[in-house]
Amino acid sequence: MERDMFDTMTMTKILGGVCGTLLIFLLGGWAAETIFHVGGHGYGDGPKQAYVIEVADDEEATEEVVEDEGPDFTEVFASADAAAGESQWRACRACHVLEPGQNMTGPSLYGVVGRDVGAVDGFNYSGSLVAVADVWTPENLNAFLENPRGYAPGTSMSYNGMRNIEDRADLIAYLDSVDD
């Protein structure tokens, strides 16, 4: 008879432990929802805003954005330093060469400034690159070097871009000085 009571008592303790654990998890979930709830609690129109942050009118904000764009590329390119651009060439050298008729992962950049886009024989260009421009003008090269995937979505060029406008202008001036 003791054995039946022991089994019943053990089962009662196990069931009580499971029910107690479930109750603790339910109460913990309720407490967390109450503390961290971001919506209203069902009273009125929801939570009230603690304070208001004043912002500038749309016209003022637009004027500030225009001022922050920086210098125009044509102005920067007019004062570009080809000698400084030679040091920028190091990043390009991993995939490109400056010798005419030779290609690596990327096409030869000999004479690239003023050349038709996709004009290097023997190189398989991605279709998106050929569709964005007809000629590699300094302005087109600037836009491409700033963000290659943004300028020509789908391009196979894996370079992330050159953020500094002066560096891009110097590099383009160097590339322009290399050819005949």
Same domain flag for 9 and 88: no
Same domain flag for 96 and 155: yes
Residue 100 lies in a domain: yes
Same domain flag for 77 and 118: yes
Same domain flag for 85 and 140: yes
Q: Which two tokens stand for residue 63?
A: 């004027």
Residue 125 lies in a domain: yes
The one-digit pLDDT tens for each residue of the chain (180 residues) are 456 666 888 899 999 999 999 999 999 999 998 888 766 555 555 556 667 777 766 665 555 555 556 788 888 889 899 889 888 898 888 889 988 888 888 888 999 999 888 888 888 877 677 777 889 999 999 998 998 888 888 888 888 888 899 999 999 999 999 876
Same domain flag for 78 and 21: no
**Domain encompassing residue 36:** 2-40
Residue 18 lies in a domain: yes
What's residue 29's pLDDT?
92
Print burial letters for 41-55: b (CB count within 10 Å at least 16), e (below 16).
eeeeeeeeeeeeeee
For residue 116, what is the domain's CATH number? 1.10.760.10
Same domain flag for 20 and 108: no
Same domain flag for 103 and 164: yes
Question: Which among 125, 131, 86 is positioned nearest to 105, based on CA atoms?
Answer: 125
Reported pTM: 0.60
**Which residues are CB-contacts of 171 (< 8 A; sequence separation ≥ 6)?**
85, 88, 89, 92, 145, 162
What's residue 13's pLDDT?
93
Residue 54 lies in a domain: no
- Number of domains, the chain: 2
Same domain flag for 27 and 78: no
Same domain flag for 85 and 165: yes
Residue 86 lies in a domain: yes
